[in-house]
Amino acid sequence: MTLTTVSQNKAHGGIQGVYRHASQETKTEMTFSVFVPAHDAGAKLPVVWYLSGLTCTPANVTEKGEFRAACAELGLIFVAPDTSPRGDGVPGDPNNAYDFGLGAGFYVDATQEPFAKNYRMWSYVTEELPSVVAASFPIDPRRQSIMGHSMGGHGALTVALRNPDRYRAASAFAPIVAPSQVPWGEKALGGYLGADKAAWRKHDAVALIEDGARLSDLLVDVGDADQFLAQQLRPELLKAACEKANIPLLLRKQDGYDHSYYFISTFMGDHLRWHAARLGR
């Protein structure tokens, strides 16, 4: 797999890079960012995958996430994929809405036309991109974890629940925990996967837990001033599912914080330290 380097900058002693490659899954060029902290020659480092939310590209967290200082301190590689395929001929929302299509892949493999050809974000973030990253960066595949925000929080939780032997930890900022039960998710899952709601369950964290998926524990932060909290995020549904399944969940409601990267950047260091404790050093 050939990578094109878009940019590289030294930061906190390490290298923040942005890269592009031709994806076999999405049939488009895909861009992603990687921060590699300073490390001894030949060392293999734990990796944290970060899945972004609606409308985002890898630039949002790379420029505003404030993760590099903690990653440099903790020795963590930080990888941020894009949120959807992009390019000429890639279909978007028919009404140009922000919550479907471009920038809103919802981390599923679409089965419905005209999206099935390109919108294969589940396979991209769980199979293709990990192979690309493993071939080009000094990751330790035995020490991986995943986190995300909003739509990406949904993605991180579902990816971790369906791959418990791969990821040692999962956390989320303001995740869409039950997309089958909220407007964003109903639109996206219906549009990408069709009307059969049974097919939606494997992309719904609450449904996965109800159906037997398990993790050792979870960390979730939400802001109590988040404008999407009551209608779209519904963290109380995750709390109830985890309580019933005996999954330890640290659910923190942060006073006065909204849905933005001001919120994410404030608690990013907490999350990365939580991941590092589970990834080992």
Annotated catalytic residue: which of 154, 259, 271, 275? 259
149 noted as active-site residue:
no
| Spatial distance between the Cα atoms of 88 and 91, rounded to a whole number of angstroms | 9
226 noted as active-site residue:
yes
Q: Burial letters for 81-91: b for 16+ Cβ neighbours within 10 Å, e otherwise? A: bbbbbbeeebe
Annotated catalytic residue: which of 150, 154, 204, 275? 150
Instruction: Write the CB contacts of 134 (distance below 8 Å, at least 6 apart in sequence).
Output: 141
150 noted as active-site residue:
yes
- Report the SS3 class of residue 80: strand
Backbone angles phi, psi at 201, to 5 degrees: -60, -30
Annotated catalytic residue: which of 82, 109, 221, 226? 226
State the residue for tokens 């963290």: 235
**DSSP one-letter string for 161-218:** HH-TTTEEEEEEES----GGGSHHHHHHHHHHH-S-GGGGGGG-HHHHHHTT---S-E
How many CB atoms sit inside 10 A of residue 67's CB?
Answer: 25
Sheet arrangement for strand 249-254: 4-11, 14-22, 29-36, 77-80, 45-51, 139-149, 167-173, 218-223, 249-254
Q: Which two tokens stand for residue 196?
A: 């059969």
Active site residues: 150, 226, 259
